[in-house]
Amino acid sequence: MEKMSKRRIKLVIHYDGTAYHGWQAQCDVDTVQSQIETAIEKLCGCEAKLIGSSRTDAGVHAMGQVAHVDVDTPVPTKNIIRSLNRYLPNDIVVAGAEDVDEIFDAIRSTTSKLYRYTIYTGKIRPVRKIRYCWHRPGKLNIPKMQQAAAKMLGKKNFKSFASAADQRESSVRTILKCDVIENKPFIHIDVEADGFLYNMVRNIVGTLVDIGRGRWQPESIDEILAAKDRAAAGPIAPASGLCLMEIDY
Amino acid sequence: MEKMSKRRIKLVIHYDGTAYHGWQAQCDVDTVQSQIETAIEKLCGCEAKLIGSSRTDAGVHAMGQVAHVDVDTPVPTKNIIRSLNRYLPNDIVVAGAEDVDEIFDAIRSTTSKLYRYTIYTGKIRPVRKIRYCWHRPGKLNIPKMQQAAAKMLGKKNFKSFASAADQRESSVRTILKCDVIENKPFIHIDVEADGFLYNMVRNIVGTLVDIGRGRWQPESIDEILAAKDRAAAGPIAPASGLCLMEIDY
């Protein structure tokens, strides 16, 4: 029997990250990647190695994660979606699948990514939203947060907003959008960039919240960026509020 | 030392019921009632017996459950809320508390209850809503469901919509509201009544959905009610879509 030529499939994936130790497969813990790889292996009867664009952390969600996988199956793409979703748990879904050229690489072909962070400012704990927000009761000065957010835009060295664990050579990234949107009792912070350092969005959000509560003035962002030191910025915001919304290619 | 006179406190409670075996305390399983009783006991240092207005089932949510409890503590009501919420898990919250007369009884003083059922009709599993809806892809005929819902209104014998486990003497209840509201891709079904039989809302929803998908005409509601037989109505809708919204006194 002739060996089938490999097919590369691009997947768009949504998940509620609460129950998982993040995206990336690790020994002995449950991750989103390993759940999907197991589903693909059941479907195709072969080993599957999924390459995800963003290694989201434990508790972080996605409504637009992208991954690619090479499979060895004649099953039509439409049926692949349906079958994978039957194998997957309720908190993970394959929202789209398409055959792509082998040139496509979920990590390297990325041009930009958009994250949304959600803060809930109401007093009473929002039990049906708590998995998807940072519950932080109390007032925040939105115009000051917006002024500070505007200072993040452009090509800059974001080392002060990267957790120490970040091993990448360059800390220079270009932030295309950093919007603070009030939608009472919610605040959304949308950050789009050509790439992100480890924990970058959560560190930006923690710093913007410190500005919103009056710890610093918006101008302090300039000094924080210039310091190139994680200790100069604010605390990290909780994982639950973060959602990967979109990846562009 | 003089014994303090008992205080009766009325609590308004919100919860995500996904993780619990319903409201009512039972041996060996985790319930919302037992979680709150444990929190009260920690706070007051005395045994607490919580009387909840609605014994919601496993997986059913509440944004307006009401309960009363007699406590023996001088702690001000405001502080009781704050302390209880510190002891409670993230998916349960005491949203309000007030001192009430001993005449108040969370069960007997009820005049009406409002439930909301949520259906999600989109094709892709909504991973961040799945705990709070019935994911039922595909079209439903909303006007026909609305015609059928209107036939539920008034004082009637709802035995056909009560699960067999219902042991109450009378199956007569008065439905004050039965609205089918389309908010694409969601459908909400709001049902308000002076009281509900066991699984009554979920059995009504299952029947309305059968009408929406064309199994029956709206007029069939008359025959179903007349049959006074659970087997005459449609299947029970999943617990996850149901939320107790409000209880009036």
Contact between chains at A14 and B85 (C-beta distance less than 8 A) = no
Contact B154, B192 (CB under 8 A): no
Is the domain of B120 the same as that of B89?
no
Is the domain of B121 the same as that of B218?
yes
Is the domain of A73 the same as that of A178?
no
Contact between chains at A127 and B93 (C-beta distance less than 8 A) = yes
**Which among A187, A223, A219, A220 is positioned nearest to A205, based on CA atoms?**
A187
Burial class (CB in 10 A: 0-12, 13-18, 19+), A38: middle
Residues 6+ apart with CB under 8 A from A109: A103, A249
Is the domain of A125 the same as that of A61?
no
A157 in a domain, yes or no?
A: yes
Is 0.80 surpassed by the pTM of this model? Answer: yes
Last residue of some domain: B100, B131, B153?
Answer: B100
Q: State how far the alpha carbon of B90 is from the alpha carbons of B85, B93, B117, B119, in Å.
A: 8, 7, 23, 25
Residue B25 has pLDDT above 90, yes or no: no
What total number of domains does chain A contain? 2
Three-state SS annotation for A14-44: EECHHHCCCCCCCCCCCCHHHHHHHHHHHHH
> Average of pLDDT values for B205-233?
97
Domain with B137 in it: 112-248
Chain B residues inside the 8 Å CB shell of A124: 14, 93, 95
Is the domain of B44 the same as that of B130?
no
Q: Show the DSSP H helices in A45-124 as ranges.
A: 77-87
Identity of the amino acid at B60: V
B139: how many CB neighbours lie within 10 A of its CB? 9
A17: how many CB neighbours lie within 10 A of its CB? 29
| Residue where the block lists tokens 């009473």 | A124
B211 in a domain, yes or no?
A: yes
Query: ∠B228-B234-B237 over CA atoms, to 5°?
Result: 120
A246: how many CB neighbours lie within 10 A of its CB? 16
- In this predicted complex, what is the ipTM? 0.89
Identity of the amino acid at A23: W
Contact between chains at A127 and B14 (C-beta distance less than 8 A) = yes
Residue B166 has pLDDT above 80, yes or no: no
B64 in a domain, yes or no?
A: yes
pLDDT at B3: 52
Which of 82-101 (A) contact B at CB < 8 A? Answer: 85, 90-93, 95
| Residue where the block lists tokens 């007029």 | B219
Is the domain of B32 the same as that of B134?
no
Distance in angstroms (rounded) separating the CA atoms of residues A35 and B152: 44
Of all residues in chain A, what percent carry a pLDDT higher than 90?
Answer: 89
Long-range Cβ pairs for the range B173-179 (8 Å, 24+): B173/B197, B173/B200, B176/B112, B177/B114, B177/B153, B178/B149, B178/B150, B178/B152, B178/B153, B178/B204, B179/B146, B179/B149
- The CATH number assigned to the domain holding A14 equals 3.30.70.580
Low-confidence stretches of chain A (pLDDT < 50) are: 1-2
CA distance, residue A70 to nearest chain B CA (Å):
23
- DSSP letter, residue B238: P
Contact between chains at A16 and B95 (C-beta distance less than 8 A) = no
- A203: tokens are 């560190």
- Put simply, whether A134 touches B (Cβ < 8 Å) is no
A84 in a domain, yes or no?
A: yes
Best residue of B127, B131, B245 to probe chain A, by most A CBs closer than 10 Å: B127
Distance in angstroms (rounded) separating the CA atoms of residues A207 and A228: 14
Contact between chains at A128 and B95 (C-beta distance less than 8 A) = no
Nearest by CB to residue A125, choosing from B93, B128, B243, is B93
Last residue of some domain: B100, B130, B150?
Answer: B100
Contact B46, B87 (CB under 8 A): no
pLDDT band of residue B2 (cuts 50, 70, 90) is very low
Residues 6+ apart with CB under 8 A from B169: none
pLDDT at B169: 83
Q: Model confidence over B35-86: pLDDT tens digits?
A: 999 999 999 888 889 999 999 999 999 999 999 999 988 889 999 999 999 9
- Put simply, whether B63 touches A (Cβ < 8 Å) is yes
Q: Model confidence over B171-198: pLDDT tens digits?
A: 999 999 999 999 999 999 999 999 999 9
Last residue of some domain: A100, A132, A166?
Answer: A100
Identity of the amino acid at B65: Q
pLDDT at A5: 61
Identity of the amino acid at B184: K
Distance in angstroms (rounded) separating the CA atoms of residues B5 and B26: 29
Q: State how far the alpha carbon of A111 is from the alpha carbons of A45, A96, A108, A175, in Å.
A: 33, 19, 8, 12
- Put simply, whether A128 touches B (Cβ < 8 Å) is yes
Distance in angstroms (rounded) separating the CA atoms of residues A243 and A228: 26
B1 in a domain, yes or no?
A: no
Contact B163, B198 (CB under 8 A): yes
Q: Model confidence over A139-183: pLDDT tens digits?
A: 999 999 999 999 999 999 999 999 977 777 899 999 999 999 999
Is the domain of A126 the same as that of A83?
no
Is the domain of A163 the same as that of A186?
yes
pLDDT at A104: 97
Q: State how far the alpha carbon of A63 is from the alpha carbons of A248, B122, B141, in Å.
A: 13, 15, 29
Chain B residues inside the 8 Å CB shell of A132: 128
- Put simply, whether B130 touches A (Cβ < 8 Å) is yes
